[in-house]
Amino acid sequence: MGKEKGFALSPVRAREMRRFLERNGYEVVPGQHKHLKLKHQDKADVLLPLRPSDNLSYVALKQIAAALGTDPDSLVSQVR
């Protein structure tokens, strides 16, 4: 078997995650970035890919869950 190319993708799209984060107090930081940066007053910053229709990788989902203080599975159920 060969090496896997790329990352496994989660069922959550970047657009859905952005809406969820904005409902939970995150704000988009203006600027030109390769990713969309969202800041929160009390929680860690979050980066999302610029393409809203792209599904998030599980790595990105884990990082966002860690910033929110939850586990990835419960985050997916909250977003969807």
Q: Say what the pLDDT of residue 5 is.
A: 54
pLDDT at 43: 92
Size of the chain, expressed as the number of residues it contains: 80
Low-confidence ranges of the chain (pLDDT < 50): 1-2
Number of H helices, E strands in the chain: 3, 5
Predicted confidence at residue 10, as pLDDT, reads 85
CA distances to 2, 3, 41, 67, 68 from 63, in Å: 27, 24, 18, 6, 9
**Token pair listed for 24:** 């939970």
CATH number of 10-79: 3.30.920.30
Helix, strand or coil for residue 53?
coil
